[in-house]
Amino acid sequence: MAVHPLENLPLLSTPPSPALPLMLLLGAIAAVAPLSIDMYLPALPLIASDLAASSARLQQSVAVFLFGFALCQLVYGPLSDRIGRRPVLLFGLLLFTAASAACTLVNSAEQLLLTRLLQALGGGASAVVINAVVRDRYQGPAAARVFSLVIMTMTLAPLLAPSIGSLLLQVSGWRAIFLLLTLQGLTLTLWVACYLPETLPPARRRQQPWRQLFAGYLSVLRHRQAMGHLLCSALAFAAMFAFITGSPFVYIGLFQVSEQLYGVLFGCNVLLLMAANGFNSRYVMKTGLHPMIVAGLAIQSGCGLVLMLAALSGLLTLTLTVLCCALFIGAIGLLAPNTSAAVVAPFEHHAGAASALMGSARFFCGALAAMLVALLDDGTAMPMVTVMGGCALAAAGCYAILARAPSANA
């Protein structure tokens, strides 16, 4: 069998300009999760009414998706280290496509929760493979730069997703949203099958017995700085998912904005996220990973505190909420690529496991944050902003205690 020319390329610390088609493909694969989560957000109140379910019950569909997305990565990561990236990704995309089609047929909240879980179990392969593919090729700040470029490409998904969801609601109803996700999964499956090379050649695959497949997790769990960056990243993402879960009901329910305006306001967060990723990709090679991480944590902690104090004092307005949330979410553009690079950098032979543990931690913490927002739902913004602020402060604490000292790869 012919070997793709990318398979034998060495790891790079200074990245060349990545081929545009490959970067677009990686960005499109990375967009599976945000599209699956964000596109149906404007429809949540309508779906709750249509399925005769409470708003808290429908908010749980976000948490269920995140739990499934987190757990399956723990299997996909070591498996991709053993059999390669492509087979794992193709299986996951096929399952995602089938489950998305099933979402169009549900008639109860329970059925929606089940199909969303299956959708997540397939889509989780995308998060693992993207991080592992980048680690197969790059190291340190170079990897952070490539992560930024991928994230800039895929951020079009959350920028457009709520608006697309709102449009589909007006034209065809909420089931059309899941039909579009089905077409997305099918298109990506064909695109990956035809154009994504295998970046982990057989010589670099883990050859340990199957019973030792998960041993790579111990290496990651024992690495203090890697775990510091992992927890920092996971808590920052948890804060984001608290916003994703609560914002439809805060903006549409509390502040009485329309579904269309909600899509616009949601897009403001993504625009700042794209800007932060662009800034990071331009300057991280000069500054290193850690100054960017510190800046992101400072922005999130400051905005979180302002939101909590405003909510407690009764001074929280739509303008203040939109501004602070946009800065808060935008700061992930400084946190996500750099913590991703810092976590996987020490693990040449366990990149899939490190990537999976990081992705799983992000979505598991995100699921807990989403569930907490749903359980604390009291018709105010307090549950959302409290969880956001608490997660941001905890992320800063984990960084200060475990990961502050620069590693050799930073």
Write down the pLDDT at residue 211: 61
**Does residue 358 belong to any structural domain of this protein?**
yes
Which amino acid, 58?
A: L
Instruction: Report the domain count for the chain.
Output: 1
Percent helix, strand, coil in the chain, to 5, is: 80, 0, 20
Q: Is residue 16 part of a domain?
A: no
Question: The domain that contains 252 carries what CATH number?
Answer: 1.20.1250.20
C-alpha 392/C-alpha 403 separation (Å) is 15
- With CA atoms as reference, report the closest residue to 196 among 333, 350, 80: 80
Amino acid at 101: A
**Regions of the chain short of the pLDDT cut 70:** 1-22, 139-140, 149, 151-156, 158-159, 206-214, 348-349, 351-352, 404-410
Euclidean distance between CA atoms 151 and 159, whole angstroms: 12
Q: Evaluate whether residue 397 is within a structural domain.
A: yes
Secondary structure of 10-71 as H, E, C letters: CCECCCCCCCHHHHHHHHHHHCHHHHHHHCCHHHHHHHHHHCCCCHHHHHHHHHHHHHHHHH
Domain assignment present for 120: yes
The 10 Å Cβ neighbour count of residue 16 is 10
| Of the candidates 269, 259, 210, 208, the residue with the CA atom closest to the CA atom of residue 239 | 269
So what's the pLDDT on residue 238?
92
Q: Is residue 409 part of a domain?
A: no
Listing DSSP states for 85-104 in one string gives: HHHHHHHHHHHHHHHHHHHT
For 100-145, how does the pLDDT look when each residue is reduced to its tens digit (9 = 90+)? 999 999 999 899 999 999 999 999 888 888 877 877 777 667 777 7
| Residue 255 in domain | yes
Mean of all residue pLDDT scores within the chain: 83
Helix (H, G, I), strand (E, B) or coil at 185: helix
Predicted pLDDT at 388: 96
pLDDT value for 349: 67
Closest listed residue to residue 139, CA positions, set 288, 34, 330: 288
In a domain, 214, yes or no: no
Neighbouring C-beta atoms of residue 23, cutoff 10 Å: 17
How confident is the model at residue 183, as a pLDDT?
95
pLDDT at 234: 93
pTM of this structure: 0.70
CA dist 202 to 26, 36, 206, Å? 22, 33, 9
- Tens of pLDDT along 142-178? 777 777 767 666 666 766 777 788 888 888 889 999 9
* pLDDT value of position 289: 85
- Rounded Cα–Cα distance for residues 356 and 360 (Å): 6
Tell me the one-letter amino acid at 119.
Answer: Q
Contact 202, 302 (CB under 8 A): no
Asked if residue 209 belongs to a domain, the reply is no
Residue labelled with tokens 């569930």: 371
Within a 10 A sphere around the Cβ of 105, how many other Cβ atoms?
10
CA distance 113 to 328: 29
Residue 49: which domain range? Answer: 21-200+224-403
CA angle 84, 85, 87 (to 5 degrees): 80
Q: Which residues of 61-73 are buried (b: 16+ CB within 10 A; e: fewer)?
A: bbbbbbbbbbbbb
